Structure 1
């Protein structure tokens, strides 16, 4: 029996980077959390501590800051591609690069009914994500978001399920359905209107969640993914993760009160966790596109 070194990579995780574009009176802000990971023949670093081919993680961090200044941040995906291409093309030993980016949203402050040119308040909605992989097989971009919290007060059912001697859950044809959605979608191209597509995908998923008379959260995820693929030919597959944020009707009868589905206990755990992948049957090979580094995007 031999013991061998398997897959490995290294990089700088979670470099906080805020880029403010100040070239016009109306400033623009992009607030990022950037993770880099490099892949290649780095076996000697692991096996014998030889660092001669290792680009320090501190240098990777500095590169992200320098690129934010020299190239700007027009979108997460474009910025990630710039970084990944640089590491693979310009750093000799590097054979592959993975860039994961989170973006925290800001919205303009309203002053006297008008959007202010250089003041923002943090927006409490979802975190936008992007993951870019560049290696010998090609360039791969995964867009996405996480922590998009959705709730509908009706239009959701759960009935007709399998039961046994341990089943206590009653059937329902009218329930609150809520989730904190994580969505990721893989593109087939790097020539994409990134921000427009992001806004479109998010809008479609919210619409499907809202309008579908849902018989199960699984069904809702299928409709979300299917609608996105129908709308955007440049997307090959969609991966969805949705914890079921349960809302249980509180029994108010001890207090002489009825509760016709108006007061709920919001349980944070345990929770059902629903996951689904929706893809085209002719989707191109993803290769290493889904191989994560920090797993943040």
Structure 2
């Protein structure tokens, strides 16, 4: 089976795309995103979708403007509309952290999706990115939620992000581009261990591959197992949430009796889901935040408070844990 057919099968199996949708493709000009653009352009009729390319120029490198022109030329060649944005400031200044650059890029993609009425934003993360993300989260400390790695589909705010290449390896993409003589840009900073991801990719993964040549597959399989297990726990927690919660748009009240009778995994997931209900997602909520509430419930007096990110406050009353804005 050729690579585009594998991507098509994955999209259909996961239900990532609805017929008639407009999709915004995040294209940097690198190998993965160039393949994404060519692949979905080839599949657009089979999927019954329309495409719109989005490119964000971070202006971090001397080659940033070259990459932008390449993507603009690619869009013109494919006859696909394109939206481009540039970060203000001269080339190379000021520097951005990897997370800050990602937030700016995702905010831009969300803006383009809203402006065009797109059904989803499509990103070019691969199986290699999934494996590297699992390793990075292990290094930083994580649980079942983090071990899921990068999801094929995720709702963030008002935007759905999909990743149809998450089952495809970087080497297979590079082989495809060579076979079809398709050019792409090369980010020279990817060859330098500057960011943590680069250090994992360039130094740690090769070392782990010597210990286990199948390390990428092992990590991807582990992520899939974690996803299945988390989905089950989340379903149980959502049911428990219905049974033990009184909620409104700005307040969630969990009955302490039901909370303390639950398994620790369900208790922590209940708190995450309550935070998600108020904040829209669980970004910035850490294990320490959740454990702080558990400690308060065990030994805190009535009226005790724990402050969570995004102006969310957790208060202990006699019978309830009240989570509110």
Classify the TM-score, shorter chain. under 0.3
The structure whose residues are more often strand, as a share, is 1
Larger Rg over CA atoms: 1
> TM-score normalized by structure 2?
0.23
Q: Which protein is richer in helix relative to its size? A: 2
